[in-house]
Amino acid sequence: MPSLKNKIVFISGASSGIGMACARSFASEGATLILAARRKEKLEQLALELKETFNTGSRILSFDIQNNHEVKEAFNSLPEDWKSVDILINSAGLAKGMQKLQEGNPDDWDVMINTNIKGLLYLTREVLPYMVKRESGHIINLGSTAGHDVYPSGNVYCATKFAVNAISQSLRIDLLDKSIKVSSVDPGMVETEFSVVRFSGDVDRAKNVYRGVDPLTAEDVADAILYCATRPKHVNINEIILTPVAQAQSNFVVRKPV
């Protein structure tokens, strides 16, 4: 398996969940990391843990991915040699609320669209020219089963993940002549901070999402991402869809009585 030793891996959403699990698994394989999110203290704790555990070299970038000016400023603050990112993992993302469209909050829609679609585009736009120049690199986007089939009251969140699906497919075509890989890793239910954020801190409601199901963990998803990142040079994994065994797609879940 190709080595990740000294590869520069940029992880958005590294302060929690899947992004944080990726930081740990890529660090354990010898990668050098750029850890990004808004919560600087979480990133600092993680960087310290990875330094102590794996002697990982890392840089922290704290910015709001919804704001293109902040994204540009953060990326440009990197020393020139850190801008040659080998692997970009676009994990920053969220759901806000879960209502029928006619009852939905347009402010929540803005946050989801600005983070999941526009934020992913802003960051990718900064990183890609350096990959194109070197004709080498790998973009790994966090899609979702919600980007393949919709579920009740999932309207705008599902739309953002359908958009990520389209962006991944389209990027792959745009980059065909540049030897740059594009993968989409699309999980079903993963227990992270995701549902707590979706329901604005309502922990009981968040727990209920996973009631009677053995959900995926962030580490399960990081494992699939690591698999994509470690295939031979000529192999691109286009897409991985992974779900708990009790979930067939967004809408089909079997729950054990609890």
190 scored as a contact of ligand NAP (CB under 6 A)? yes
CA 93 – CA 191 distance, rounded (Å): 14
44 scored as a contact of ligand NAP (CB under 6 A)? no
**Which residue out of 130, 151, 157, 210 is catalytically annotated?**
157
183 scored as a contact of ligand NAP (CB under 6 A)? no
Helices 155-174 and 120-134 cross at an angle (nearest 10°) of 10
Q: Which of residues 149-178 bind ligand NAP (CB under 6 A)?
A: none
By CB under 6 A, name the one of 187, 199, 224, 244 that touches ligand NAP. 187
- Bridge partner residues of 138 (DSSP): 87, 181
Contact, 2 vs 30, CB < 8 A? no
CA 138 – CA 157 distance, rounded (Å): 25
15 scored as a contact of ligand NAP (CB under 6 A)? yes
CA 118 – CA 124 distance, rounded (Å): 10
Q: Which of residues 18-37 bind ligand NAP (CB under 6 A)?
A: 18-19, 37
Comparing CB distances to ligand NAP, the nearer of 41 and 81 is 41
157 a catalytic residue: yes
Comparing CB distances to ligand NAP, the nearer of 94 and 237 is 94
58 scored as a contact of ligand NAP (CB under 6 A)? no
Sequence-ordered list of residues with C-beta below 8 angstroms from that of 182, at least 6 positions apart, any chain: 138, 139, 140, 141, 168, 171, 172, 175, 236, 238
Comparing CB distances to ligand NAP, the nearer of 93 and 137 is 93
Other residues' Cβ atoms within 10 Å of the Cβ of residue 230: 15
Binding-site string for ligand NAP from residue 88 to residue 107, where x marks contact by CB under 6 A and - marks none: ---xxxx-------------
CA 108 – CA 217 distance, rounded (Å): 26
Number of chain positions touching ligand NAP (CB under 6 A)? 29
- Enumerate binding residues for ligand NAP (CB under 6 A): 13-19, 37-39, 42, 64-66, 91-94, 115, 142, 144, 187, 189-190, 192-194, 197, 218
